[in-house]
Amino acid sequence: MVKTIQTKVPLQEVNTLGRYFKKKFKEKVYKVPISISGFTCPNIDGTVAKGGCSFCENDSFSPNLQDKKSKFKLSPKTTENPFLENQLKQLELQFNATKNRLEKKFGAKKFIVYFQSFTNTYAPFETLKALYEKALSFDNVLGLSIGTRTDCVTDEILDYLKALSLHKEIWVEYGVQSFYDETLHQINRGDTASNMRKWIAKTKEKGLLVCAHLIYGLPNETQKMMLHTLDETLKLNVDSIKFHPLYVVKNTLLTNEYKKGKFTPITEELYIDTVVKSIQKLPSHINVQRITAGINDNTLLSPLWCRNKHQQINKIRKALREVGLEY
């Protein structure tokens, strides 16, 4: 009898942000999320829309948010920012607190300051420069990651970031969510697919690093649409992708839709299958920054599988291994 010897095919590593940093800087790099009070978004303050994106209750995006009740809100039209000194102090305090925790827990040595909450280019240029330069002045900070919208960048801001990028690692993180205008309209996004294409292309032309944030499970979107949004994003030559399931948290416009039975959240099976198919499509030079998200408190209404992020990551890892990929 002839014995068949089963040889295991080695798994191929997914290019994660961690692996990208390790390769580039020869050591682990940690992102430090920052939330500066006074920042808002043109989709919240009425400039392009009111109420924000239908899923947005910003606390769920910003664990470091400290000053929820602050009345003072910035916009690019603000002529004077009397709170700049406070904002710079807040930046330093938040950075040091997280940095110290990461140093103790993981022995972290190098950091990227991540301006995470709201729209972090939506302020007077002088305020942005002061905050970014302060962040870059901290010890062991290699660069910045700036979360924003494509209708909130200008040539002036991109040229400035391009100059910074000659010596530092500068990422611009754009919320894309979907490339379907009907979906963007439905979620009250206040931006369009053509505007996103224009500004992502410009950001890339300047030589900046771009991360695109995609949401799977948006109202009325099929898997084919979600994967098409990914294809459109990849055509723009972005450097990194974040995947996020759409979940309903209390005090959002989406809550009403959900309670009226007009919105059904994506199932865990469909989400995992879509993320796996997405990662299989990614060219090897594009890294993955996030494969899911979860929220483990009573603000989450649905779907309840989003409560346990670690469980989701394990399930996605397992599903990826089945197609020969190691996350």
Does residue 217 interact with ligand SF4 by CB under 6 A? no
Of the residues 56, 108, 112, 306, which one makes contact with ligand SF4 according to CB under 6 A = 56
Measuring CA to CA, how many Å separate 303 from each of 156, 223, 267, 292, 295?
41, 17, 8, 13, 10
Of 122-151, binders to ligand SF4 (CB under 6 A) are: 149
Q: Which is nearer to ligand SF4, 15 or 177 (CB)?
A: 177
Stretch of residues binding ligand SF4 (CB under 6 A), selected from 53-61, 75-83, 162-170, 249-257: 53-61
Helix or strand (DSSP H, E) at 137:
helix 125-137
Helix or strand (DSSP H, E) at 171:
strand 169-177
Does residue 215 interact with ligand SF4 by CB under 6 A? no
CA atoms within 13 A on the CB side of 106: 13
d(CA 194, CA 199): 9
Is 325 within 8 Å of 11 (Cβ atoms)?
yes
Does residue 43 interact with ligand SF4 by CB under 6 A? yes
Is 39 within 8 Å of 106 (Cβ atoms)?
no
Of the residues 34, 44, 215, 230, which one makes contact with ligand SF4 according to CB under 6 A = 44
Stretch of residues binding ligand SF4 (CB under 6 A), selected from 13-21, 52-60, 133-141, 244-252: 52-60
Return the structure tokens found at 296: 């483990």
d(CA 179, CA 229): 5
* Shortest distance, position 75 Cβ to ligand SF4, whole Å: 13
d(CA 254, CA 223): 20
**DSSP code of residue 173:** E
Does residue 184 interact with ligand SF4 by CB under 6 A? no
Of the residues 115, 118, 243, 247, which one makes contact with ligand SF4 according to CB under 6 A = 118
Stretch of residues binding ligand SF4 (CB under 6 A), selected from 37-45, 94-102, 132-140, 196-204: 37-45
SS3 193: helix
Stretch of residues binding ligand SF4 (CB under 6 A), selected from 41-49, 84-92, 243-251, 285-293: 41-49
Stretch of residues binding ligand SF4 (CB under 6 A), selected from 36-44, 96-104, 201-209, 301-309: 36-44
Does residue 175 interact with ligand SF4 by CB under 6 A? yes
Q: Which of 99, 121, 134, 108 is nearest to 208 (CA)?
A: 121
Does residue 20 interact with ligand SF4 by CB under 6 A? no
Measuring CA to CA, how many Å separate 4 from each of 1, 7?
10, 9
Does residue 53 interact with ligand SF4 by CB under 6 A? yes
Q: Which of 73, 82, 76 is nearest to 36 (CA)?
A: 73
CA atoms within 13 A on the CB side of 307: 9
Of 242-271, binders to ligand SF4 (CB under 6 A) are: none
Q: Which is nearer to ligand SF4, 44 or 146 (CB)?
A: 44
Q: Which is nearer to ligand SF4, 59 or 103 (CB)?
A: 59
- Residues of this chain that interact with ligand SF4 (CB under 6 A) are 41, 43-44, 52-53, 56, 58, 118-119, 149, 175
